Copies of this chain bind each other. A is one copy, B any other.
Amino acid sequence: MTGLLGLATLLLVGKAAALSPDCVNGPLRNNTVCNTSATPLDRATALIDLFTIAEKINNTGSTSPGVPRLGLPPYQWWSEALHGVASSPGVNFSSSGNYSYATSFPQPILLGAAFDDALITAVATVVSTEARAFNNANRTGLDFWTPNINPWRDPRWGRGQETPGEDPYHLSSYVHALIDGLQGGYDPKYKRVVATCKHFAGYDMETWNGNFRYQWDAQISSQDLVEYYLPPFQSCARDSNVGAFMCSYNAFNGVPTCADEYLLQTVLREHWGWTNEQQWVVSDCDAVQNIFMPHDYASTREQAAADALNAGTDINCGTYYQNHLPAAFAQGLFNESTVTRSLVRQYSSLIRLGYFDPPEEQPYRALTWSDVDTAASQQLAYQAAVESIVLLKNDGTLPLSVKSNTSIALIGDWANATKQMQGNYFGVAPYLHSPLYAAQQLNVTVNYAQGIGGQGDPTTNNWLPVWDAADKSDIIIFAGGIDNSVESEGMDRVSINWSGAQLDMIGQLAQYGKPMVVLQMGGGQIDSSPIVSNPNISALLWGGYPGQDGGVAIMDILTGKKASAGRLPATQYPSEYIRQVPMTNMSLRPGPNNPGRTYKWYNGTAVFEFGSGMHYTNFSASINSTYNSKNFSISSLTSNCNESYMDRCTFQNFAVDVHNTGSVASDYVALGFLTGSFGPQPYPKKSLVNYQRLFNVKPGSSETATLNLTLGSLSRIDEMGNRVLYPGEYALMVDTTPLAMVNFTLSGQPAMLDKWPQPPPARTQNGTYYVSGFDGEQLLN
């Protein structure tokens, strides 16, 4: 146990974030690290040069002890801020008073439904502002392990709620806007905070049929990898200069991602050019331990730690590096220069956060409690929910006509929701306004009955007050669906049905023949076809996890104070979908035992398509017809392209005139889908290539959305993962049921926009996929 002896000196860092190093009077004051005119690389290198090998290794964990003899304080790398500053090892809310709460926005899956990138930047800016205020009070770190930007591949995934949805273009655009807000631009002198794109890569399953995230080996073809699983990460690394990446629990084609030099070095750093000195990779928590067990990838603990370090995992969430790198070093399993490299990355990053710089020179150091939960932030949290809520059915009952003598029944386990509205990875909200609270603010009579005691709770003992409330009321609102009791970290859903108890209650309530609204809450979509088909149910809204003011946002839409314009960021599949495809099947395209995944490939009939969402008005749209049947030469498109990454080159910016033909002012999301016959077969049904949200389009008025298409928008991915521009017939459509369309042609020879680095041949990827659980193994190999 020699490896353990070195740990006697390892300090434990408490929950409070560390103070900054003292560059005025401390031992480092004359070191280059304290010289603000030196480059971050030089400064970090000078600091790390002072470390002994033991001190280096001791500082490879997320709970970093610093180096007391150098006056380098401990630092906690692990803070969370998925949709607001969130409880985590590095975040310390006060029990009362200042710093006892922070603005709590909707979950990303709902924010995704706004299809409003400017909103995302604004939300992220509030989050980073509040994070900085907390940091100035020594209540957070400066590094936040957000966003979760894995595309939501399978509706069962318990953590899909943390993502903006299923579409890789959408996620790429969203995360670009998010990082702008979190980091404070794409190359600021001082970063607001460091964001961390996770989980790299192929992580989108908690547990299914005996497959656990800690040991699961995702088998992904190069085509699916580049086309579906990686675009948001490319956006983070190549296009948004994110400060950090997190490697994931799962293995990818046989190699645990935190030990995968192909992913972490070849793809991330070399191919995407993510090579700034301050960019680092952290392991998901104890993913390094998992390399040893249960992945059984490395034969010893020392080898597991060295594998991860050598592959490019710079920080280990956990203590495995600190525990086992000493022995690994003694065994010659890594070079000192490798751990030095990781530490230089870490401290370069802190330097870019102003960690060693005079506070008076840094604007973010001036932020205080008065910058937290401001009126504007509260309004933004409300606005974010309003923009995002999706109207799925309306027989004309909405908006509700509410008068002072109106009585409303509010029924269901979401009616009086509090923390439910925050989903997961949340902090302390200043308030949590439920639908019930919001209804009570109206000048009406509200009859509340929870009825359903919890997710799937079939206990009809609580149902009698429901009938009483329905009897007494003019309008019935049922607020239910799912929540983190059935979808959460570590728990994928085992059904995408409404619970039998909820459906039964909804069905009985519908028999009253009164105006009736169903609120479908929670992150994952639920098959609402029985609600759609029931003529006695007036309306259906999806409200996700709407955050601190979610109830008010919902009620304002129901009563017409606000107009609905959110769009579903994920397909609502029929309930049998999950019996048609194993969760372990990573293929997007239809095949045996796979009806296809996402709106691009699903060959069944969705209950609601990706992008669905009704308004209180009607819209028409048109695209400049001069594009129609136009022919573009691939060679001239590429020869006019001078970007180093050719997919970024503009193809055309399509102006879309959107006309409100109805009688209610409303936002409108112009979704641009591309379809056609080009590139490798099979062809996707369509692909989102751009979107723009228009605001407050007045009745009878028009506004213009501009859909910017790049060469990348037109490209397809071949079997090797290369991005190629192909000749063929193209059509750009506006909206899910197209309001406008133009056709055009590309001609000439295919042109490669991006040559994909091929994986080493020894990997287990084999074209088909491997399922370690019972069924697939026998079924599919």
List residues of chain B with CB within 8 A of the CB of A285: 458-459
Any chain B CB within 8 A of the CB of A360?
A: no
- What is the chain B residue whose CB lies nearest that of A11? B464
> Are the CB atoms of A286 and B459 closer together than 8 Å?
yes
**Please, how many angstroms separate the alpha-carbon atoms of A209 and B775 in the complex?**
10
Any chain B CB within 8 A of the CB of A460?
A: yes
Any chain B CB within 8 A of the CB of A402?
A: no
List residues of chain B with CB within 8 A of the CB of A214: 456, 458, 500
**Please, how many angstroms separate the alpha-carbon atoms of A188 and B571 in the complex?**
62
**Please, how many angstroms separate the alpha-carbon atoms of A210 and B486 in the complex?**
13
> Are the CB atoms of A294 and B579 closer together than 8 Å?
no
**Residue among A285, A289, A774 with most chain B CB within 10 A:** A774
Pick the contact of A210 from B89, B301, B579 — CB < 8 Å?
Answer: B579
List residues of chain B with CB within 8 A of the CB of A602: none
CB distance from A256 to the nearest CB of B (A): 12
Pick the contact of A212 from B320, B463, B494, B776 — CB < 8 Å?
Answer: B494
> Are the CB atoms of A458 and B209 closer together than 8 Å?
no
Any chain B CB within 8 A of the CB of A12?
A: yes
**Residue among A61, A508, A777 with most chain B CB within 10 A:** A508
**Please, how many angstroms separate the alpha-carbon atoms of A28 and B496 in the complex?**
52
CB distance from A25 to the nearest CB of B (A): 31
Pick the contact of A293 from B7, B207, B503, B774 — CB < 8 Å?
Answer: B503
Q: List A278-293 residues whose CB lies under 8 Å from chain B.
A: 285-286, 289-290, 292-293
Any chain B CB within 8 A of the CB of A10?
A: yes
CB distance from A538 to the nearest CB of B (A): 17
CB distance from A511 to the nearest CB of B (A): 6
Q: List A463-497 residues whose CB lies under 8 Å from chain B.
A: 463-464, 467, 471, 494-495, 497
> Are the CB atoms of B210 and A774 closer together than 8 Å?
no
Any chain B CB within 8 A of the CB of A369?
A: no
> Are the CB atoms of B62 and A461 closer together than 8 Å?
yes
Pick the contact of A458 from B10, B301, B318, B464 — CB < 8 Å?
Answer: B318
> Are the CB atoms of B779 and A500 closer together than 8 Å?
no
> Are the CB atoms of A774 and B504 closer together than 8 Å?
no
> Are the CB atoms of B460 and A323 closer together than 8 Å?
yes
Q: List A559-582 residues whose CB lies under 8 Å from chain B.
A: 578-582
**Please, how many angstroms separate the alpha-carbon atoms of A581 and B210 in the complex?**
12
CB distance from A489 to the nearest CB of B (A): 12
**Please, how many angstroms separate the alpha-carbon atoms of A61 and B462 in the complex?**
12
> Are the CB atoms of B582 and A774 closer together than 8 Å?
yes
Pick the contact of A4 from B89, B286, B467, B772 — CB < 8 Å?
Answer: B467
**Please, how many angstroms separate the alpha-carbon atoms of A495 and B460 in the complex?**
33
**Residue among A210, A290, A463 with most chain B CB within 10 A:** A210
**Please, how many angstroms separate the alpha-carbon atoms of A546 and B451 in the complex?**
36
Provide the A440-464 mask, 1 if CB < 8 A to any CB of B, else 0. Answer: 0000000000000000101111011
- Known interface pairs A289-B501, A500-B293, A579-B772; A461-B63 also in contact (CB < 8 Å): yes
> Are the CB atoms of B289 and A500 closer together than 8 Å?
yes
- Known interface pairs A4-B471, A508-B301, A511-B1; A319-B209 also in contact (CB < 8 Å): no
Q: List A503-520 residues whose CB lies under 8 Å from chain B.
A: 503-504, 507-508, 511-512
Any chain B CB within 8 A of the CB of A590?
A: no
The interface residues of chain A, by DSSP majority, are classed as mixed
CB distance from A451 to the nearest CB of B (A): 11
List residues of chain B with CB within 8 A of the CB of A215: 500
**Please, how many angstroms separate the alpha-carbon atoms of A582 and B777 in the complex?**
12
List residues of chain B with CB within 8 A of the CB of A456: 214
**Please, how many angstroms separate the alpha-carbon atoms of A775 and B779 in the complex?**
8
Q: List A259-316 residues whose CB lies under 8 Å from chain B.
A: 285-286, 289-290, 292-294, 301
**Please, how many angstroms separate the alpha-carbon atoms of A494 and B593 in the complex?**
22
**Please, how many angstroms separate the alpha-carbon atoms of A407 and B161 in the complex?**
48
Any chain B CB within 8 A of the CB of A662?
A: no
List residues of chain B with CB within 8 A of the CB of A494: 207, 209-210, 212
List residues of chain B with CB within 8 A of the CB of A464: 7, 10, 12, 319, 323
> Are the CB atoms of B582 and A775 closer together than 8 Å?
yes
**Please, how many angstroms separate the alpha-carbon atoms of A501 and B10 in the complex?**
21
Any chain B CB within 8 A of the CB of A337?
A: no
Any chain B CB within 8 A of the CB of A778?
A: yes
List residues of chain B with CB within 8 A of the CB of A319: 460-461, 463-464
- What is the chain B residue whose CB lies nearest that of A63? B461
**Please, how many angstroms separate the alpha-carbon atoms of A464 and B7 in the complex?**
8
Q: List A562-614 residues whose CB lies under 8 Å from chain B.
A: 578-582, 593
Any chain B CB within 8 A of the CB of A773?
A: yes
CB distance from A528 to the nearest CB of B (A): 15
List residues of chain B with CB within 8 A of the CB of A461: 61-63, 89, 318-319
CB distance from A182 to the nearest CB of B (A): 25
Q: List A731-756 residues whose CB lies under 8 Å from chain B.
A: none
> Are the CB atoms of A460 and B579 closer together than 8 Å?
no
List residues of chain B with CB within 8 A of the CB of A501: 286, 289, 293
Q: List A9-61 residues whose CB lies under 8 Å from chain B.
A: 10, 12, 61
List residues of chain B with CB within 8 A of the CB of A458: 214, 285-286, 289-290, 318
Provide the A176-216 mask, 1 if CB < 8 A to any CB of B, else 0. Answer: 00000000000000000000000000000001011010110
> Are the CB atoms of B467 and A294 closer together than 8 Å?
no
CB distance from A462 to the nearest CB of B (A): 9
**Please, how many angstroms separate the alpha-carbon atoms of A318 and B593 in the complex?**
40
CB distance from A769 to the nearest CB of B (A): 14
CB distance from A776 to the nearest CB of B (A): 7
Pick the contact of A460 from B318, B460, B773, B776 — CB < 8 Å?
Answer: B318
**Please, how many angstroms separate the alpha-carbon atoms of A252 and B213 in the complex?**
34
- What is the chain B residue whose CB lies nearest that of A492? B494
- Known interface pairs A12-B464, A319-B461, A511-B1; A212-B495 also in contact (CB < 8 Å): yes
- What is the chain B residue whose CB lies nearest that of A214? B500
- What is the chain B residue whose CB lies nearest that of A465? B12
- What is the chain B residue whose CB lies nearest that of A775? B775
List residues of chain B with CB within 8 A of the CB of A581: 774
CB distance from A45 to the nearest CB of B (A): 28
- Known interface pairs A320-B460, A323-B460, A775-B779; A7-B209 also in contact (CB < 8 Å): no
List residues of chain B with CB within 8 A of the CB of A495: 210, 212
CB distance from A8 to the nearest CB of B (A): 8
Q: List A398-415 residues whose CB lies under 8 Å from chain B.
A: none
**Please, how many angstroms separate the alpha-carbon atoms of A504 and B323 in the complex?**
13
Pick the contact of A294 from B294, B500, B578 — CB < 8 Å?
Answer: B500
A-B contact pairs, 21 of them (CB 8 A): A1-B467, A1-B471, A209-B775, A210-B494, A212-B495, A215-B500, A286-B458, A289-B458, A289-B460, A289-B500, A292-B504, A293-B501, A294-B497, A294-B503, A301-B508, A323-B464, A323-B467, A582-B775, A775-B776, A775-B779, A778-B779
10 closest Cβ contacts across the A-B interface?
A: A775-B775, A294-B500, A286-B458, A318-B460, A579-B774, A319-B460, A293-B500, A293-B504, A4-B467, A207-B494
